[in-house]
């Protein structure tokens, strides 16, 4: 039967004796809660907890030292500098010293900028004592998510105090803060590099390691006394560089991190993209990074009344108890210290926390100096205004977005010969998205029988890990089944459900992982944990969708099986699910219908998307695949793309010809 005629007949039936099935009734049915509260985060938490190995035990120092050396090497080579970022590691970079300004009694402030990687300049300030002789401690000061950046008063006071004590203090800007606040520096933009197969973590690490380079090149810098300290994201930077770069001899991370187990338990501790780099958890938890500090002096500072993240009550025991046995192997338990701030106890690096840092420096850098000041030297009247500390930067400065645009221009690098290489391509796609083959157990949790149809609400339990909520609309004598998902969640699908049911189709509307009722709230970054621990949101979602399609086939013994998606995110998931599916004809997919899909994966970067769309940034996907070969890989004989613009028509014109030649059809509708 002609599709348009079937739709007309269905609509006439749908009106059914002048009784119209109202859209608001469909909305009501789609909006009814199916899952218990917080199911999304609870299931994500349980899934991640099962993947986190405990901190290993070591019987002797030699075993630990071998493990530590191998772990550092693997993290650097397999996480920080994977893909194209390897060339940045050995690239020649520059340091440009600019003007000096008057600091206060006993020190000056020298402005400088340095390249973290070619073309990406970081502004910085060197607090330098007026009278230097011999070697003095060199300290690096990093900061967290503070819009004031390097001009934050509490950070200035710390640097001033160290300069007054005769130390060198380098104050560097955190990517995304202070002078580096344009959208291209946003931490969520680092995932654009991941899509291209280049580590988005590399610029963060290089900004730190290059800072150490220039600091230690200063003639008065003592390479035996090198300290790093920072708050929040600065605490994360501190443990990252201090664990992996053995030039750091003393570290003071302040309220900056905890282990992956705590991140999975407490949504406030998840952190941004940089704290959840792809696959880090396969090699080293943050507990391991803390242990890598042994036997060097390390002060773990946390706050008792946290209003942000990493509360002392759980974060401190997590990292301390993992590292302390390793310090004992060295006989250096006293080198691992901790401080809990009670006043004010909130997220801070204020006086009490700073004085704990000064005491640590005195004990290990000036152990014989009884005159070393362990309390703060008053200097509030020497704090500069932001404009006074501004460092000139080039008009065009690289950032995550510009690097990703450049990398993406020649991607994908691989051209698949389809259909000859279909099996190998499908295998490789499965490896990239880390897709599984989920079993499914369906539980009905409610139903309504209306004159026009039967409506059922389902909980689809998949792989004993995920519960996908679904609403099924079954008209009399349905002629096929539609499995449908949408970027806006199932609540946004009222018009699509009405249209399909009017055409006599059974409709099953789902909320996949991180969509609609399945969203892993309360923190938008929660899905990033999946990638950090070795899986991919895209693979989970595609596996869920594939399992739902197989279940739908069982629900509809006769007629066609259609997979439909509305929006860029869910269209990509549907394409990947359809490309991975390759079963017997009776278990196959008949139609793939996409509304508003991507024309190319490069579009994600061109439109400057961030990691709030986590499945879009599957590591290395664009290196080997784009939308067109993925569509060609699907076994669905009919593909329809709705709301196709001119760009999409141009992109898919040759694919439509290829589909026709292979007995498939690709229709583009405005």
Is the same domain home to 163 and 272?
A: yes
Residues 663 and 550 in one domain: yes
Q: Which of 405, 431, 454 is at the close of a domain?
A: 405
pLDDT at 281: 97
User: 418 lies in a domain?
Assistant: no
Which residue in 566, 563, 579 sits closest to 627, CA to CA?
A: 579
**Could you give the CA distance from residue 223 to residue 69 in angstroms, rounded to a whole number?**
21
Same domain, 215 and 176: yes
Q: What are the angstrom distances between the C-alpha of 286 and each of 63, 307, 487?
A: 20, 21, 33
**Do 338 and 212 belong to one domain?**
yes
Residue 388 sits in the same domain as residue 514: no
Q: What is the DSSP string of 246-275?
A: TT--EEEEES----HHHHHH-GGG---GGG
Same domain, yes or no, for 319 and 188? yes
Q: Are residues 158 and 279 in the same domain?
A: yes
524 & 456 share domain = yes
Q: Which domain holds residue 513?
A: 3-31+440-669
- CATH number for 103: 3.40.50.1820
State residue 95 phi and psi, 5-degree precision: -125, 130
**How much is the pLDDT for 22?**
59
583 within domain boundaries = yes
Contact 266, 178 (CB under 8 A): no
My answer on whether 475 and 390 are in the same domain is no
Q: Quick one: pLDDT at residue 509? A: 98
**Buried b / exposed e along 584-611 (16+ C-beta atoms within 10 A):** eeeebbbbbbbbbbbbbbbbbbeeebbb
Looking at 382, 405, 428, the residue that finishes a domain is 405
Please indicate, yes or no, whether residues 389 and 463 belong to a single structural domain of this protein. no
Residue 622 belongs to some domain of the structure:
yes
- Residue among 435, 459, 554 at smallest CA distance from 506: 554
Question: Does one domain contain both 376 and 445?
Answer: no
**In the beta sheet, which residues pair with residue 482?**
507, 562
In a domain, 40, yes or no: no
HSE-up (13 A, CA, CB side) for residue 260: 32
The packing angle between helices 537-555 and 568-580, to 10°, is 70
- The secondary structure of the chain in percent helix, strand, coil, rounded to multiples of 5, reads 45, 20, 35
Half-sphere exposure at residue 237, Cβ-oriented, CA atoms within 13 angstroms: 28
| Cβ contacts of 142 within 8 Å, gap of 6 or more | 172, 174, 208, 228, 229, 230, 233, 234, 237, 238
Residue 583 pLDDT? 61
Would residue 412 count as lying in a domain? no
Give the three-state DSSP class for 487. coil
Number of domains comprising the chain: 2
Domain end among 354, 381, 405: 405
Q: Is 435 a member of any domain?
A: no
> Which residue ranges of the chain lie beneath pLDDT 70?
1-23, 522-523, 583-587, 661-662
Query: Considering the entire predicted model, what is its pTM?
Result: 0.93
For residue 252, list its beta bridge partners.
229
| Helix (H) or strand (E) segment spanning residue 372 | none
Asked whether residue 151 is assigned to any structural domain, the reply reads yes
Residue 282's pLDDT is 97
DSSP 90-155: T----EEEEEEEEEETTEEEEEEEEEEETTEEEEEEEEEESS--S-EEEEEEE--S-TTGGG-HHH
Residue 426 lies in a domain: no
Q: What is the model's pLDDT at position 659?
A: 72
Same domain as 379, residue 271: yes
């Amino acid at each position: 039967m002609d599709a348009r005629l079937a739709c007309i007949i269905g609509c006439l039936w749908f009106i059914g004796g002048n009784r119209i099935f109202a859209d608001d009734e469909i909305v009501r049915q789609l909006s009814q809660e199916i899952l218990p509260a917080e199911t999304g985060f609870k299931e994500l938490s349980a899934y991640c907890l099962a993947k986190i190995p405990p901190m290993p035990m070591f019987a002797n120092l030699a075993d630990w030292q071998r493990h530590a050396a191998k772990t550092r090497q693997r993290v650097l080579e397999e996480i920080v500098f994977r893909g194209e970022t390897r060339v940045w590691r050995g690239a020649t970079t520059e340091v440009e010293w600019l003007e000096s300004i008057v600091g206060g009694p006993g020190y000056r402030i020298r402005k400088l900028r340095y390249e973290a990687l070619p073309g990406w300049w970081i502004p910085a300030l060197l607090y330098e004592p007026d009278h230097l002789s011999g070697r003095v401690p060199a300290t690096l000061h990093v900061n967290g998510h503070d819009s004031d950046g390097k001009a934050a008063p509490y950070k200035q006071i710390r640097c001033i105090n160290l300069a007054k004590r005769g130390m060198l203090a380098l104050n560097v800007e955190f990517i995304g803060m202070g002078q580096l606040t344009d959208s291209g520096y946003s931490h969520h933009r680092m995932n654009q590099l991941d899509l291209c197969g280049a580590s988005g973590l590399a610029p963060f690490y290089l900004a730190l390691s290059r800072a150490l380079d220039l600091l230690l090149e200063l003639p008065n810098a003592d390479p035996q006394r090198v300290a790093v300290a920072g708050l929040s994201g600065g605490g994360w930077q501190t443990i990252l560089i201090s664990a992996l770069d053995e030039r750091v001899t003393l570290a003071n991370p302040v309220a900056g991190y905890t282990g992956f187990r705590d991140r999975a338990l407490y949504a406030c501790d998840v952190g941004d993209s940089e704290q959840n780099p792809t696959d880090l958890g396969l090699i080293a938890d943050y507990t391991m990074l803390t242990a890598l500090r042994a036997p060097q002096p390390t002060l773990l500072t946390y706050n008792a009344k946290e209003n942000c993240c990493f509360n002392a009550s759980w974060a401190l025991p997590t990292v301390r108890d993992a590292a302390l046995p390793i310090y004992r192997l060295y006989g250096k338990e006293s080198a691992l210290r901790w401080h809990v701030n009670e006043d004010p106890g909130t997220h801070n690096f204020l006086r009490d926390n700073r004085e704990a840092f000064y005491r640590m420096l005195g004990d290990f850098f000036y152990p014989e100096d009884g005159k070393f000041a362990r309390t703060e030297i008053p200097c509030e009247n020497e704090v500069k205004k932001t404009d006074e500390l501004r460092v000139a930067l080039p008009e065009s400065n690289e950032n995550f977005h510009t690097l990703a645009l450049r990398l993406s221009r020649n991607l994908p690098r691989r051209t698949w010969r389809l259909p000859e290489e279909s099996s190998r391509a499908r295998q490789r796609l499965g490896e990239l998205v880390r897709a599984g083959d989920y079993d499914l157990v369906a539980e009905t949790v409610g139903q309504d029988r209306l004159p026009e149809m039967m409506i059922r609400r389902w909980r689809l339990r998949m792989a004993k890990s995920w519960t996908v909520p679904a609403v099924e609309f079954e008209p009399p004598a349905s002629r096929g089944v539609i499995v449908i998902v949408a970027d806006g969640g199932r609540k946004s699908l009222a018009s699509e459900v009405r249209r399909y049911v009017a055409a006599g189709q059974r409709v099953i509307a789902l909320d996949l992982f991180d969509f609609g009722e399945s969203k892993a709230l309360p923190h938008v970054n929660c899905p990033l944990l999946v990638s950090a621990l070795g899986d991919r949101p895209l693979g989970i979602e595609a596996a869920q969708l594939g399992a739902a399609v197989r279940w739908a086939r069982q629900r509809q013994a006769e007629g066609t099986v259609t997979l439909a998606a509305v929006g860029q995110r869910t269209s990509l998931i549907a394409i990947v699910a359809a490309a991975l599916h390759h079963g017997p004809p009776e278990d196959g997919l008949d139609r793939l219908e996409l509304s508003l899909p991507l024309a190319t994966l490069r579009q994600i970067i061109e439109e400057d998307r961030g990691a709030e769309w986590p499945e879009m940034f599957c590591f290395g996907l664009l290196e080997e695949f784009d939308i067109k070969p993925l569509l060609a890989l699907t076994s669905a004989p009919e593909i329809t793309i709705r709301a196709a613009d001119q760009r999409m028509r141009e992109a898919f014109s040759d694919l439509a010809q290829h589909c026709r030649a292979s007995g498939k059809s690709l229709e583009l509708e405005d």
